[in-house]
Amino acid sequence: MNLNHPAAASYFGLSGYYITWMILMAGLSVFCFIIFKRFKLIRIGKPDPRYTDIGQRVSGLIKDGFLQRRQPRYRMAGILHIIIFWGFIVLGLHSTDLLISGLWPGYAFPFMGGLFGSVYNSVKDLFVLIVLAASMVAIYRRAVIKPHRYQDSHQFEAYLVLCLIIFLMITDMFYEGSRLILEHSTGGFLVAAQLSKITLSGASHDALESVNRFSYWLHILTFFFFLNLLPLSKHFHIITALPNVFFKKINRGALKPPRWGIKDIDQLDAVGIQTYRDFTWKQILDFFTCTECGRCTDNCPANAVDKPLSPKTISMKLRDFGYQNSPLFSNGNIENALILGEVIQDEELWACTTCGACEEECPVFIEYIDKIVDLRRWRVLMESKFPREIEQAYRKMEIYGDIWGMGAALRNDWAKGLNLKTVQADADIDVLYWVGCAGAFDSRSQQVSVSFVKLLQKAGVNFGILGKEENCCGDYARRTGNEYLFEILAKKNIETFHKYDIKKIVATCPHGYNTLKNEYSRLGGKFEVIHATEYIFQLLDENKLSLNKELNKAITYHDPCYLGRHNGIYEIPRKIISLIPGAKMVEPEKNKDKSFCCGAGGGHFWMESSGQRINELRTDQILEKKPEIITTACPYCLIMLEDGIASKEMKGQVLVKDIVEIVSEMI
């Protein structure tokens, strides 16, 4: 709005000036008060350092915040959201211009005139129509199509906000349309304004002034009502989303420590989350940022087999619980409000496989795994309350140093006849092969270990193993919440690595690979850690290995969660398969970063399960492409998929192999 226009100046006089200031002061006062209360809720949280890697954070903010890179993963909903998001940015300038022109009559942004103003008005007016249409389509989707992932969301709030957006667009159109007629202006390319102008054609001068006046005030009032509604509803994410994206987790493979700044768990009186004040400030910001889009739950493997876990519901419950126990007009008792058993039930936190699918899909980068593991930490370390099977696994790791409970004396049995070098006999090696518990003790995984050793020997690699001095990496203990046991195992392994001056490690198991690479550094263990697929591809690229035999079979690759989503290794296994003569790659519908968990992670390999099993559902997904060979790069995925094939009575018809085995057979 520009009050230099004669039509505007005729009625936006002194009274309008005072009214605008009253609306501004009242609206901003209420908004600042609500934000202050919300900020107090965030300040309850414990420290969480998120101020490193600024360049990477700014880059992520641009790509994932402003450019909305993750939105198109759900095409229609993503397009609608991008339109509304950018509509707010474009139209926000115009709403601000309208407000300022009411506060300071006769003033207009200098850059709103000339060529920029003409171009902006045209773009803005086009966005009015696009946002109007997108909002109507969004209402239709919620009311008629009803995507399952919207179930249990705050539907009334969604409809209210969409209606407010539509009302803002309509008031803008009628304001511009009436102004064009009053000023006898053609309006250039103002599409929306021209349409509203058509509806007002033939109206009297007084009627047009009334439309113009009421459109202005209704737009401003709706703007401030909308602004104050945001921090009171799920749409607070409109304000918190960009900060949440900026402060996102950089190293996804590493869990947060029990307490930032404390390296030794023995220094802590309590470990994990029991009450609201045990969350970090970033975890509370996550609650405010949930859009309730349901993408996390829609991709959760536990939820897919009807386990009592919905990541979206966890965020909603914790946000609503925070609001209820931190009311606007009293102090409340949120700091000591119990979470475990009151808001989050044990069945929810133990259903998680820590696969990371929820975090991969979230458009605003909400982190779930750290929260769930923190809740597990309290149950395990403070209350000794956890599933019976996990207790048995802990005991085996404590006594024998491995989760199979076999002991150090049997660590090398798988390698009999392979003439392997141990670092105890000769520490002059270029690379240490980390065998892992599965590779050393599970009969099926031992075949993968043997195949990998033969590849390394064929390529002339100077390598060795720890043998009897290798202990469990601690992945299982850490992700089930036993941080104390994890640190014991990790520190013992780190001490061994230092003793033999180990610099480079290669692992066939993604869980061991992820733990050594991402978890040990905090405890002083900094080594170059490579996964077997990376190392094999390097050997192939250097012509130290060559694939000579033909496969001539349809092969599909299952992405292990801890190799793919947690460490971003998707293409290298596929490149290896592409080098195999005659191999016909067939991708399951859920692949790469949208892959579906095998069901073994987060402690579930050793836990009992009732009802449909995740590995059986994943097997069904893979078999839709009718592969002759299913390959993967994880011993746990290998076992789970073989069990899945057996459950379908297709053993022998479809082979399940580790990619290491296939390469070894093709040499």
Write the pLDDT tens digit of every residue in 359-382. 999 999 999 999 999 999 999 999
How much is the pTM? 0.91
pLDDT band at residue 393 under the 50/70/90 scheme: very high
Distance CA 506, CA 504 (A): 7
How confident is the model over 299-314, as a mean pLDDT?
96
DSSP alpha helix (H) spans, 54-113: 54-60, 75-103
Give burial (CB, 10 Å; 0-12/13-18/19+) of 410.
middle
Q: What is the DSSP letter of 344?
A: B
pLDDT reading at 192 higher than 60: yes
Q: What is the DSSP letter of 144?
A: I
pLDDT reading at 533 higher than 70: yes
**Mind spelling out the 3-state secondary structure of 372-412?**
HHHHHHHHHHHCCCCCHHHHHHHHHHHHHCCCCCCCHHHCC
Distance CA 370, CA 630 (A): 31
**Count of CB atoms within 10 A of residue 210's CB?**
14
How confident is the model over 345-365, as a mean pLDDT?
96
At a CB cut-off of 8 Å and minimum separation 6, what does 649 contact? none
For CA atoms 266, 272, 276, 279, the dihedral sign is: positive
At a CB cut-off of 8 Å and minimum separation 6, what does 415 contact? 449, 450, 453, 465
Output the pLDDT for position 53.
Answer: 93
Average pLDDT, rounded, for the chain: 92
pLDDT reading at 348 higher than 80: yes
pLDDT reading at 596 higher than 90: yes
How confident is the model over 4-13, as a mean pLDDT?
43
Output the pLDDT for position 106.
Answer: 67
For CA atoms 310, 314, 317, 320, the dihedral sign is: negative
How confident is the model over 510-515, as a mean pLDDT?
98
pLDDT reading at 8 higher than 50: no
Output the pLDDT for position 201.
Answer: 83
Distance CA 290, CA 319 (A): 9
pLDDT reading at 7 higher than 60: no
Distance CA 577, CA 591 (A): 15
What is the CA 37 to chain-centroid distance, rounded?
Answer: 27
pLDDT reading at 113 higher than 90: no
At a CB cut-off of 8 Å and minimum separation 6, what does 116 contact? none
Output the pLDDT for position 12.
Answer: 53
Give residue 197's identity as a one-letter amino acid code. K
pLDDT reading at 487 higher than 80: yes
Which element (helix H / strand E) includes 369? helix 369-377
pLDDT band at residue 188 under the 50/70/90 scheme: low
pLDDT reading at 9 higher than 70: no
What is the CA 582 to chain-centroid distance, rounded?
Answer: 37
For the segment 275-285, what is each residue's pLDDT rounded down to a tens digit?
999 999 999 99
Distance CA 576, CA 569 (A): 12
Output the pLDDT for position 119.
Answer: 84
Output the pLDDT for position 197.
Answer: 78
Distance CA 338, CA 264 (A): 26
pLDDT reading at 228 higher than 80: yes
Output the pLDDT for position 156.
Answer: 92
Lowest average pLDDT, out of 123-127, 252-256, 479-483, goes to 123-127
pLDDT band at residue 71 under the 50/70/90 scheme: very high
**Count of CB atoms within 10 A of residue 53's CB?**
12
How confident is the model over 620-645, as a mean pLDDT?
97
**Count of CB atoms within 10 A of residue 260's CB?**
12
pLDDT reading at 4 higher than 60: no
Distance CA 361, CA 243 (A): 18
DSSP alpha helix (H) spans, 104-236: 114-140, 155-182, 191-200, 205-229
Output the pLDDT for position 198.
Answer: 83
Cα–Cα–Cα angle for 57, 59, 60, rounded to 5 degrees: 65
pLDDT band at residue 108 under the 50/70/90 scheme: low
Output the pLDDT for position 11.
Answer: 46
Give residue 250's identity as a one-letter amino acid code. I
For the segment 403-442, what is each residue's pLDDT rounded down to a tens digit?
999 999 999 999 999 999 999 999 899 999 999 999 999 9
% of the chain beyond a pLDDT of 90: 77
pLDDT reading at 16 higher than 80: no
pLDDT reading at 6 higher than 60: no
Lowest average pLDDT, out of 115-129, 152-166, 296-310, 477-491, goes to 115-129
Q: Which of 511, 493, 434, 510 is nearest to 465 (CA)?
A: 434
